[in-house]
Structure 1
Amino acid sequence: MKQAVDRRAVVAASVTVVLWASAFVSIRSAGEDYSPGALALGRMATGALVLGLILVIRREGLPPRAAWPGIAVSGVLWFGLYMIALNWGEQKVDAGTAALVVNVGPILMALLGGWLLKEGFPPRIMAGMGVSFAGAAVVGLSMSGDGKSSVVGVLLCLFAAVAYAAGVVIQKPVLRHASALQATTFGCAFGALACLPFAGSLVAEIPDASVPATLNMLYLGIFPTAIAFTTWAYALARTSAGKMGATTYAAPALVVLMSWAFLDEVPGLITLGGGLLCLVGVAVSRSSRKPATPEADPAPDVPAGLAK
């Protein structure tokens, strides 16, 4: 039974990583016509509407009182400030630099989870993160343009990474009380509220925006937000924050492939090598140590930190 649950968590995490990787392509397109705050608000409002409808159809109702503080804080940090900072940062630095800086997030996530959530620092996860971060660095540097990056842009991406890591660590205890759908729906709603100061910009920019830009904004709200954040919460409830953070290192490799397919950006051998390193690191972080003597205990070896 535990193995079946773990497999479902792996599938959910995989869906999240694929959709989050696709978001980089959509953000680039939508960002040509929408300012960072307006794009974040449009994305969060779309996601909150879709999730709200699903919540009503499933009749899950409101989360328990104990879940609200964590939902509110993680919603403002992750669904609000992270989105604005990332959109803004990507307009000031090249995609490679942005990907490299934001990938500090999973490392911070593992450190905060090990410290605040008492998940510890499993050697395989830390080793896998080291390999994946090296791969992300190779991808980021190889995809960089002329090497001239805005200091403000780098700081914005770094802030996004911190908000991302803090939001995940705060969300983890919430999932003991609320379902994945509840945590995501109301987290998205709080994120939309945090973006409300940009409502005027969104209303002003919609009439002049191109159809592809608006469709990409709606795509961001439905798929990388409504669906991907829900599958993320589902998987996070069943594993550690550190292991989930390590899983997201597959995203740079997928971004390379998607840019190749949809933006006709042909990656070089160094970029492909960096993407392969990212995937190797994820495999290491998600591997489990086999029992020394199979006869000793027929029960499956469950990694430390897994919550069933």
Structure 2
Amino acid sequence: MTLKDSILGFLIIFLWGINFVVIAWGLEGMPPLLMGACRFLLVALIGSLFIKPPKMPWKWLLAYGLTLGFGQFAFLFSAMAFGMPAGLASLVLQSQALFTLLFAALLLKEGISPQQLLAMLIACIGLYLVAGGESSQASAMTTLGFILTLAAAMCWGLGNIVNRTINKRGYQANLGLVIWSAWIPPIPFLLASYYFEGGEAIREALFNIQLTTFAALLYLAVAATIIGYSLWSYLLGRYPAAQIAPLTLAVPVVGLAAAGYFLDEVINLQQWLGIVLVMSGLVLNVTGGQLLVFVKKKFSDKKQAETFD
């Protein structure tokens, strides 16, 4: 990877890592479901001016928009509104990799390798430790917040299956899909907001919107979504997916560091142990096959050297 592209990769990690702190700031002035509607409406309005619509049936935009758009962020925003710290949210959301494996096995009949099973077990133990740890009052995690974040990760995993199916059907799951599918989530978001948050809360938030809330929405729409996914699509177009995908493993590192710096979130020893296990499971899931090939090669080379001796 060239120096320029490496810098772009680090920029993506930063944009997506700081994203969770920005969500927390935005939720201070707007209910979560309404914020989700505004975020995707901005993505659609701004992005559609520059990006052509993808050439695929609308049913795939609908499936993508409802899973990776509405489902994921309705649960994530609600989780953070109901007590999920931003830093831990950035980590727990990465359990989408585990849900992707499970859904791929159930829906696409794809096999799960032994190292992937081991990775899932390690990550699940880590999530259990994260959920069971008692944080300081400034970063206390609620059970509801944790469960809702897992639900967001589940929707992300299901969306990955939609993404994979789109590619298998011969269509391009690229930035155009991200932008034009953003027209879909505002509808269920607004309906859910009106039902759960109420018309009065919606009017209050919109008519008295704060500058920090509007800035947070712009960041989520322009920086995290349009710019972030534009750069992601650019890198995927130049390098193998296996080289680019592991970059997302660094997102929770930035998320945890940013939450500690900007939001004074403190994580206890048990949760740090859980974080290490989750990250180890995710790394094993991404590099497990390569690691196994490397170990086998080293073992084979050693046996050959002993034979020659």
Normalising by structure 2, we get a TM-score of 0.71
Matched, 1:116 2:107: yes
With over 3 angstroms needed to count, the CA separation of the structure-2 counterparts of 1:248 and 1:290, relative to structure 1, is: same
With over 3 angstroms needed to count, the CA separation of the structure-2 counterparts of 1:101 and 1:181, relative to structure 1, is: closer
- Please say if residues 40 and 83 of structure 1, whose CA atoms lie closer than 8 Å, have aligned partners that are also in contact: yes
Counterpart of 2:53 in structure 1 is: 62
Report percent identity of matched pairs. 21
- Please say if residues 125 and 274 of structure 2, whose CA atoms lie closer than 8 Å, have aligned partners that are also in contact: yes
Counterpart of 2:34 in structure 1 is: 38
Query: What residue identity is the alignment partner of 1:195?
Result: F
Give 3-state SS (helix, strand or coil) of 2:209's partner: coil
Query: What residue identity is the alignment partner of 1:54?
Result: F
More helix by share: 2
- Please say if residues 135 and 268 of structure 2, whose CA atoms lie closer than 8 Å, have aligned partners that are also in contact: no
With over 3 angstroms needed to count, the CA separation of the structure-2 counterparts of 1:113 and 1:250, relative to structure 1, is: farther
Counterpart of 2:172 in structure 1 is: 178
- Please say if residues 135 and 267 of structure 2, whose CA atoms lie closer than 8 Å, have aligned partners that are also in contact: no
Deviations 1:63-106 (A, max 9, x none): 2234x322211202221132122212222233277567645533
Equivalent pairs, count:
279
User: How far, CA to CA, are the matches of 1:254 and 1:207 in structure 2?
Assistant: 34
User: How far, CA to CA, are the matches of 1:232 and 1:137 in structure 2?
Assistant: 31
Q: Give the 5 Å matches for 1:89-104.
A: 89-95=79-85, 102=93, 104=95
Counterpart of 1:76 in structure 2 is: 66
C-alpha root-mean-square deviation of aligned residues, in Å? 3.9
Query: What residue identity is the alignment partner of 1:263?
Result: L
User: How far, CA to CA, are the matches of 1:140 and 1:11 in structure 2?
Assistant: 34
Query: What residue identity is the alignment partner of 2:256?
Result: V
Matched, 1:106 2:79: no
Q: Note the C-alpha offset of 1:233.
A: 6.5
Counterpart of 2:25 in structure 1 is: 29
Give 3-state SS (helix, strand or coil) of 1:65's partner: coil
With over 3 angstroms needed to count, the CA separation of the structure-2 counterparts of 1:272 and 1:144, relative to structure 1, is: closer
- Please say if residues 20 and 89 of structure 2, whose CA atoms lie closer than 8 Å, have aligned partners that are also in contact: no
For the pair shown, the structure with the greater C-alpha radius of gyration is 2
Counterpart of 2:306 in structure 1 is: none
Query: What residue identity is the alignment partner of 1:173?
Result: T
Of the structure 1 ranges 258-267 and 226-235, higher mean CA displacement relative to structure 2 is found in 226-235
Q: Note the C-alpha offset of 1:271.
A: 4.4
Structure 1 residues without counterparts, runs of 5 or longer: 56-60, 297-308
Deviations 1:221-248 (A, max 9, x none): 12222234455667889659xx96x875
Which residue of the other structure, out of 138, 142, 149, is the alignment partner of 2:142? 149
User: How far, CA to CA, are the matches of 2:64 and 2:175 in structure 1?
Assistant: 14
- Please say if residues 77 and 163 of structure 1, whose CA atoms lie closer than 8 Å, have aligned partners that are also in contact: yes
Q: Note the C-alpha offset of 1:213.
A: 2.3
Structure 2 residues without counterparts, runs of 5 or longer: 301-309
Counterpart of 2:208 in structure 1 is: 208
Give 3-state SS (helix, strand or coil) of 1:160's partner: helix
With over 3 angstroms needed to count, the CA separation of the structure-2 counterparts of 1:189 and 1:108, relative to structure 1, is: same
Q: Note the C-alpha offset of 1:285.
A: 2.3
- Please say if residues 247 and 282 of structure 1, whose CA atoms lie closer than 8 Å, have aligned partners that are also in contact: no
Matched, 1:217 2:217: yes
Q: Note the C-alpha offset of 1:38.
A: 1.4
